[in-house]
Structures are given as structure tokens and as C-alpha cells.
A and B are shown apart, each in its own frame.
Chain A
């Protein structure tokens, strides 16, 4: 029987995080993905603040600037951040999966160069995975790394790259084997974004500004020292990154917060909602909590070193579908402009709209729900 009651340390951590958010994040903040550069600045400043309080690289070993906290404190941090629209901006990528795989696969020199700046929240990362012809079929990627004197020359194109325009480093997958080598001919490079051979083009999209970009590599250079792991051995690193990514975002936390906020934001109009909608609201709230429990089971398994990738897929499927169902329910609740006036109502409405747009891509980005269903399904029928 698993007991998910929080210990005093975690309870205090939540309190401290909420205090910091209340102090330094504006009430109407909706994350760093906006047209207002100030929103990205707010995220940077918040990361510095977390750093000062030793809350930034919470679970990292003290050797790399962390506080060596356990997985449950990390879970609380994840939830509090996502519930408040991820005020760390793109930093969660460096902290949650790029940093950890550098710890695992990096050379001592790479660890010393890359980990401390990530732990201090000083550097934005993006990840160069998908390509126009390699989405769900990631092993089909074609971006080529050619050996040159002192390093590698990179040519190709990446797509759907979040934060590419803000990032100074990219966690890049490139082909070092033949095209037919698929998973056995891919290597991981840590490449600097600010160089003449790299061009970032934002892709205007309905999910909002800065979410997705194309990145073109034409004769870009990465030095030998920045190859992560061995040549052609990138796929096992990718698998780890994808598993960490799947459980890295506490989508249910924002769902639960917005649902819980709805009655107060709607004011008197809440009483006029049809029963069927109030039922859907309550069902969605239950689904949020159910998904939270699935997340906790995954964290518990991870803590015991028994994480089955199929369970991570199951949780990911539940979490992304939850995001979408909650988006629909909230949209139906706020209606076109059925909302009352007042700052709280206005902020809530904007948060719902933002959540709706982001949720639409939840079952597409970082692995489609179909690919996760295939992974889980195969596992279930495997002998």
C-alpha cells in the first residue's frame, strides 16, 4: 500500500514556493511563451531567486550545485511550477533531462562546463529532435554530422523546436552513421546556438507565440569536446531523455488549479451553469486527482528504480487527455464572454484561453498519444 501523505519538509517546500511566486510573479502571468519579452525576463529573474534560495536545482547532487532533495520534493516543485504557468520558462528542460543525462553520460570536463550554469539557471537550452520527415519516426532523422578537423560540421533542419530563439545551447540529435542505420547511427551533440551556420525561424502557430520554430543548420560547427556519449550511441541517451520528458510536466497540477478556481472566478454566474456542465467539471476534477495519483505511482517506481516505460506511457496518455478534457470543460464554463467583470474573472479567462491553446497540442508534442498507445499496447500483449 502506497502512502502519498506529504512529509513536513515537502509541505514547507510548497509553502515557500507559493510565497516566492506570490512575491515575484505578477498575478496575470501566463508563462514565458508570449510576445512580451518582459515575460521571459520575469522567468529569468524568478530562476535567480530560486537559485538564491537553493530551490532551483533542488534534486541535483550538491557537487553540481543542487540540494540533493528527494523525488517527492521534486514532484512538489514540478506541481507548484506548472500550476503557476511554469515561471521558470525553458529552464525545466535543462534541469529535468538535459542536466541529468549530462551527469550520466558526460565526461568530467563536460559536467564541469555545463552543469553549474544550468544549476544556477543562467542558461537556456532547446532540444533539436524532430525534423520535417522525422516526427513520430524519430530514427529517420537526416540532420548530418560530418567529421571535420577538431569537431563536426552540422547540416540539416530541425522543426517544432521550443524556445530555439531564446536558447544559447541546443541538445542536438544528428546522424553520424549511414541513413539506413536508423537508431544505430545517431549521436548527441551539445551545440552553441549563436553561430553563423544556424538560423532560427519562428513558425506562426495557433497555440501562441514562440512555441515552435524551425532551426536550419548549414555548415554549423560543434567541437569534439561537445559530443555527448559515444559516436553512434545516441539512441540510448534519447530514450532516457524521452522517458524523463514524459513524466517531467505536471499537467494535472494546472488542470486542478484552474478547475478549483472556476467557481470563484465565475461568481454568481456559476449558479446558472447547467447541471450537466457542473457534473463534467466535477468529473474533470476527479480525473485531475486520479492522474496525480498515477504520477505519484510513477515517481514511487522511479524512486525504487523499478520504472517501467509502459507505466510512464500510461501516465503520459492520461495526463495529455486530461489536459484536453479540462480545456473543453473550462471553455464551456466561461463560454464566449459569459464571464462577469473584475480583475480576477479577466485573469481567469485569459488563463483558460492559454490553457486551451496549449492543451490542443498536448497529444501531439513530445510523442503523439498514438505512439504512447503503441508503446503501452505492445507491452501489454508481449509474451
Chain B
């Protein structure tokens, strides 16, 4: 039964994504009933949507939706009718600005939301005591400019402001929840994308012939593919586990770290087995690799988050078992 529902959801999600080549916006998710589904079975709704988006290397503002539903489900007072645009941190940071008495300052982050001029922003900000809080900011005086990165189809924008008025400070728990929700969704997206790269690679090595045989018959080539499969399998297992019961942040950090590493492996090995073809723009790999460059580093890359996992384990004094049987 559950499997049938899952197949159905994945199929519907794939169709929806395929029908919107410019990328999903908030209204598309409403139309497909995603917001109802996410209330019933959040793991399935987020997993199917983001793995589908990753597989298609589709740009969207769906991450905002995934983050905001988790925040409101946990009691955050945020409007889903006129949602704030979430400001994500650039690689290597944990906040997009700071908050002092009253105002926010030095805002510098990334926005995925597609709405031309958002009325408010939702931004993780560092406090003077070193903690990170989540605050709704008024959009006046905030500049938005397109980022011309490696993957223009993402339509990323950089948001900057010297200072911004704080409408509502939600508190530190919500900042942690935002990081968790966003990383979990991006882990799913990375897994879908790595799977897409693997599929392109498998298709190539089974059709490309050298020395009179398909290059996929060579063990050296097969090993490249199995390394992707193993990295992908491990990342998918931990990401699925992060939906069991109350997800702790270490499990989510581990999931994102492993998903980013699987994606890095898929890029390295996928490009290698596709040879010169893989580097050309007309081959399907180029698009996927561009997205992977962003997604792997977004919200922390593999080695960086592995460091964060280590610090969390040391701070907590115990390691999670990742088996579902942790005491």
C-alpha cells in the first residue's frame, strides 16, 4: 500500500516537474496538493519532490516551501499565503548577517525565491553571544541582484543590505530548524542529481565502443560506476533515516555530508567514464555537473559538514548509531 502511494507521488511529481521547464514556483506546489501531502507524510512529500527536482536538475523555489512548512508545523508564526523569501548562507558561513539591538546589519546571502520583490525576508542572523537566531526582515533598503554563477538556470539572486528592520525575531530554535530542514531537502536533491549523473554514465558506457566492445565491459570503468552507486546508497539510507522519529541534527548533517560526497563522486567518476564527450555542452552531463557544483557546496560540502558532525558528537558526548536502535 505504502509503496503504491509512493510510486504514485513520485510519478505525479516527475510529471509536474517535466511540465514546468522554467522551474517550479510556489503556486505549482499548491496546485499539485503538495502542501496537503506534506502534512500527511512529510518524508514522502519532501523526498519525492526534491529527488525529482535533483534528477531533472530543475531550478525552483521549492526549498523555501520545504523550509517554511517545517517551521510553521513547529509553531513558527509565518505566513504561507505571503511567504517571506528565505535567505540562505553562502558556503562556509552559518548566518547571513548579524542582529544587534533592534536592527539587522551586514546582510549578505542567497535567495532562491522567484517573486520579483519579496515583502519580507527570513534570515538566520548571528547574535553578539555567538548564537544564531531566525528573524523576519522588512525588505525596504535590501538589494537583490542576479548571480551569474556556473549554473544560470538556478536563477539565484544575491541579497545584500547594510541594515534592515527586524519585523519579528523567531529565536534560535527556529534557526536550527531552518538549517536542518534545508539541508535535509538538499540532501534529497543531491541524491536525485547523483542518480541522474549515474544514469547518463551507465547509458554512455553501454553504448560507447572502443577496441571493438562497449567500454562498460571493462572493470576499470565498472568500478568507477560502482563507487558512485555505493556512495549514493549510503547517502540515501541515512537521508531516509533522518525522517524516522525526531530527527537529530547530527543525522541530518551526516545525510547532507554523505549526499554531497556522493554527488562529488558522481561528478568525478561520471565525467571520467564519459571521456571528452562529458565535457561538451551538448552532452546531457554538462547541465547536471553545473548544478552539482552548486548543490554540493550549498549549505556545506562533504568534508566541511563531516567536521561539523565531529564537533557535534564531541559536544554531545555520544555518537548516534544511525541504525534506528540508538539508545
Contacts and interface: CB of A to CB of B under 8 A. Distances in A.
B20 interface: no
Contacts of B210: 135-137, 140
Contact of B276 (A140, A338, A364, A373): A364
Contacts of B297: 331, 335-336
A18 B272 CA distance: 35
B91 A364 contact: no
Contact of B90 (A336, A364, A369): A336
A210 to B, nearest CB: 13
A370 B268 contact: no
B276 A135 contact: yes
Interface residues of A, number: 37
A181 interface: no
B271 A280 contact: no
Contact of A204 (B276, B280, B290): B280
Size class of the B contact interface (CB-based, 8 Å): 20 to 34
A206 B289 contact: yes
A312 B175 CA distance: 54
B304 A370 contact: no
A59 interface: no
Contacts of B275: 135-136, 364, 368
Given A140-B210, A332-B304, A370-B220, A364 B280 contact: no
B202 interface: no
B282 A364 contact: no
A359 to B, nearest CB: 11
Contact of B93 (A136, A332, A338): A338
Contacts of B93: 338
A272 B209 CA distance: 49
Interface string B8-24: 00000000000000000
A284 to B, nearest CB: 13
Contacts of B209: 133
A43 interface: no
B211 A205 contact: no
B90 A337 contact: yes
Contacts of A276: 303, 306-307
Given A140-B210, A205-B279, A206-B281, A335 B271 contact: no
B221 interface: yes
Interface in B179-217: 209-211, 215
B241 interface: no
B2 to A, nearest CB: 39
Contact of A338 (B91, B271, B281): B91
Which 10 pairs across A and B sit closest by C-beta, in order of nearness? A336-B91, A137-B210, A204-B281, A335-B92, A335-B91, A338-B92, A336-B90, A205-B279, A137-B211, A160-B276
23 contacts: A135-B275, A136-B210, A136-B211, A136-B275, A137-B210, A203-B281, A204-B281, A206-B281, A206-B290, A274-B304, A276-B306, A276-B307, A277-B304, A332-B301, A335-B91, A335-B92, A337-B90, A338-B92, A360-B279, A361-B276, A364-B276, A365-B276, A370-B221
Given A160-B276, A204-B282, A363-B272, 19 more contacts: A135-B275, A137-B210, A137-B211, A203-B280, A203-B282, A204-B281, A205-B286, A206-B279, A272-B92, A276-B307, A332-B304, A335-B297, A338-B90, A338-B92, A364-B272, A364-B275, A364-B278, A368-B272, A370-B272
